[in-house]
Chain A
Amino acid sequence: MSADSATGAAKVSRRRLLGWGGAGLALGVAATGGAAAAAIGVSDDPEPRLGDAVPFYGPHQAGIATPVQDRLHFAAFDVTTDDRDALVALLKEWTRAAARMTAGRPVGEGAVGGLPEAPPDDTGEALGLKPSRLTLTVGFGPTLFAKDGEDRFGLADRRPPALIDLPAFPGDDLDPARSGGDLCVQACADDPQVAVHAIRNLARIGFGKVSVRWSQLGFGKTSSTTPEAQTPRNLMGFKDGTRNISGTDTAALNEHVWVQPQDGPPWMVGGSYLVARRIAMNIETWDRAPLKEQEDIFGRTKGEGAPYGKKHEHDEPDLNALPADSHVRLAHPDSNGGARILRRGYSYTDGTDGLGRLDAGLFFLAYQRDIRRGFLPLQTRLARSDALNEYIRHVGSAVFAIPPGVRDAADWWGKELFA
Chain B
Amino acid sequence: MRAIRLPHGAAVAVTAAVALVSVSACADKDGGGGGSDAIQVTASDTECKVSRTEFPAGHVTLAVHNTGSKVTEVYIYAPGDRIVTERENIGPGTRAEITAEVKAGSYEIACKPGMRGDGIRQKVTATGQGAPRPNDPRLDRAIAEYRRYVQEQADATLPKAEKFAAAVKAGDVAEAKKTYAVSRIGWERTEPVAESFGDIDPKVDVREDGLEQGQTWTGWHRLEKALWKDGKIGEEEKKLADQLIVDLKDWQKRVGTADITATGMANGAKELLDEVATGKVTGEEERYSHTDLVDFQANVEGAQKAYELLKPVVSEKDPALAKELDERFAALYELLDEHRDKGSPDGFVSYDTVGKDERKKLSDGVNALAEPLSKLAAAVAK
A residues near B (Cβ < 8 Å) are 80, 115, 117-119, 204, 207-209, 211
Contacts and interface: CB of A to CB of B under 8 A. Distances in A.
B141 to A, nearest CB: 20
Instruction: Kindly name the residue among B328, B370, B371, B380 whose own CB sees the greatest number of chain A CB atoms within 10 A.
Output: B371
Nearest to A209: B368
B200 to A, nearest CB: 26
Contact of B381 (A117, A119, A211): A117
B67 interface: no
A354 to B, nearest CB: 18
Q: Which 10 A-B pairs have the closest CB atoms?
A: A118-B378, A208-B368, A207-B371, A117-B381, A117-B377, A211-B364, A207-B367, A117-B378, A115-B378, A119-B374
Given A208-B328, A211-B364, A115 B371 contact: no
A119 B328 CA distance: 19
Contact of B368 (A118, A119, A207): A207
Nearest to A205: B371
Contacts of B123: none
Contacts of B378: 115, 117-118
Interface residues of B, number: 20
- What is the predominant secondary structure among interface residues of chain B facing chain A? helix
Interface string B296-331: 000000000000000000000000000010001000
Contacts of A118: 374-375, 377-378, 381
B372 interface: yes
B284 to A, nearest CB: 21
A118 to B, nearest CB: 3
Instruction: Kindly name the residue among B368, B369, B380 whose own CB sees the greatest number of chain A CB atoms within 10 A.
Output: B368
B145 to A, nearest CB: 21
Given A209-B368, A211-B367, 18 more contacts: A80-B364, A80-B368, A115-B378, A115-B382, A117-B263, A117-B267, A117-B377, A117-B378, A117-B381, A118-B374, A118-B381, A119-B375, A204-B371, A207-B367, A207-B368, A208-B367, A208-B369, A208-B371
Contacts of A117: 263, 266-267, 377-378, 380-381
A115 B379 CA distance: 10
B143 to A, nearest CB: 16
A115 B375 CA distance: 10
Nearest to A78: B364
Contacts of A211: 360, 364, 367
Interface string B237-281: 000000000000000000000000001001100000000000000
Nearest to B370: A207
Contacts of B364: 80, 211
A277 B267 CA distance: 42
Contacts of B367: 207-208, 211
Contacts of A80: 364, 368
Nearest to A177: B356
Interface string B177-215: 000000000000000000000000000000000000000
B372 A208 contact: yes
B372 A115 contact: no
Interface in B349-370: 360, 364, 367-370
Interface in B98-141: none
Contacts of B377: 117-118
Instruction: Kindly name the residue among A80, A207, A211 whose own CB sees the greatest number of chain B CB atoms within 10 A.
Output: A207
